[in-house]
Structure 1
């Protein structure tokens, strides 16, 4: 167990540092661009790994309650350090974004305490999500389940399928490519994958258990432990909120409303037409900052 945790603790920060070094030294990128793109890259790689593991687990478990797969607990242990690392990565993205929005002289330094406070206020929901994943979901998944329900755990891993498109969208916005065809195609893909993999995820889990137990869908919440219902509600709520932000931003992008409402004299380093949920240092307030 400890060796897998240690491997994850080395892999994700190490991948971030390696990517940043390659971008800075090999491609001569600036610190800000290297940090933000590297954080997106690590998030995308973690998402691909989680989705792949989830598919293998779900496909292998014919009995959705009793069947077990060694990859379930192993990947949970490996991925837990990612959420701790990602809190730091999100702060670094937030920090460099502040430097662009509020440039200061070399003789001045924006107080770290103020930056951390602003980061926690803007990214409270995402930070809370990560903290809950480590402090609640991790022990529940590894210990409380007692080896049952690996199929459901595998399906939940596949929720990460939407993350690469979210990260690509952020990179396109960073380089002011939000009006390109690629951004619109990626946005449509993100809209679909986020809805299927994150919003419909929990209704599907209830449906799958209903089929397994031969009970109607509407009876499933009354047949499972209350902890399952509470956990599903707490995990689904932010997904629905973030999906609403995506839908609102997508409407603005595809109707051109955001272009008309943007001030022509704006000097922000990032266009304000994002329809992405908060991730790696970007706040949902960006979608309302017109």
Structure 2
């Protein structure tokens, strides 16, 4: 536990610092904002890839979805804790740099800039804090030695993140009108829907098959806190999926005349 926490606490900020330093050398004309944004997205992609691989490993290793164990289901939680803490800070940095460019932020960091960040990014910050304060104790202690399969499933929700990050990077590089951006947009929709929306019915169906009961009975057979945790995770995903669909409608629904203008 402590070794994993220490390594992850050094790895993510270290990778972020390495990326910003490399961009300062490779793209000296870029602003600090551009370097921070791109570096944050690179680190996010690395973490998402690690989480997805860990999750798939756990899911494919657990034949019994309730009782089978895999060490990654426990150990990777201690990677997520420092990452989520780091990510909140990087989100704040991104917000501050964007505000600087718009001329609505003070030159130095202040309580006002923190308050502005918390107001604008309240949903994402709440999501991160929920994982840190609620889901981490549940996953590490309160569930006992049951449910590694479902923890692995939650890890795989990160599959869509690399495509989301790539889409933002392409927009940052002014490549939002390319074929790559359009194909990536489709991949965002598909992976987000599969791994962040259908993931929850899939987990309930896996339990129903294991227990030999109809799917509709699963919410009444599992502990209440499991239903509450799943609902709390699913709700923001539905909101974000709605935003993604609206963006996709604007991207793919424009006429050729609109796109050329």
What is the TM-score normalised by the length of structure 2? 0.94
Offset at residue 247 of structure 1 (A): 0.4
Alignment of 1:216-227 (within 5 A): 216-227=214-225
Report what 2:14 is aligned to: 14
**Does the 8 Å contact 2:157/2:199 carry over to 1?**
yes
Deviations 1:73-107 (A, max 9, x none): 11111221000000011111111111222278xxx
Report what 2:56 is aligned to: 55
Report what 1:181 is aligned to: 179
What is the TM-score normalised by the length of structure 1? 0.85
**Does the 8 Å contact 2:100/2:107 carry over to 1?**
no
- Please provide the CA RMSD for this pair: 1.8
Consecutive unaligned residues of structure 1, counting only runs of 5 or more, are 265-290
| Residues 1:256 and 2:257 aligned together | no
Deviations 1:187-214 (A, max 9, x none): 1100000000001111111111001001
Q: How many residues align?
A: 258
User: Which one has the bigger helix percentage?
Assistant: 2
Cα distance in 1 for residues equivalent to 2:221 and 2:104: 57
Cα distance in 1 for residues equivalent to 2:66 and 2:13: 34
Report what 1:112 is aligned to: 110
Report what 1:4 is aligned to: 4
Cα distance in 2 for residues equivalent to 1:75 and 1:131: 17
Alignment of 1:222-237 (within 5 A): 222-237=220-235
Offset at residue 148 of structure 1 (A): 0.9
Consecutive unaligned residues of structure 2, counting only runs of 5 or more, are none
Cα distance in 2 for residues equivalent to 1:46 and 1:103: 32
Deviations 1:147-182 (A, max 9, x none): 211111111111100000100111112222222211
Report what 2:189 is aligned to: 191
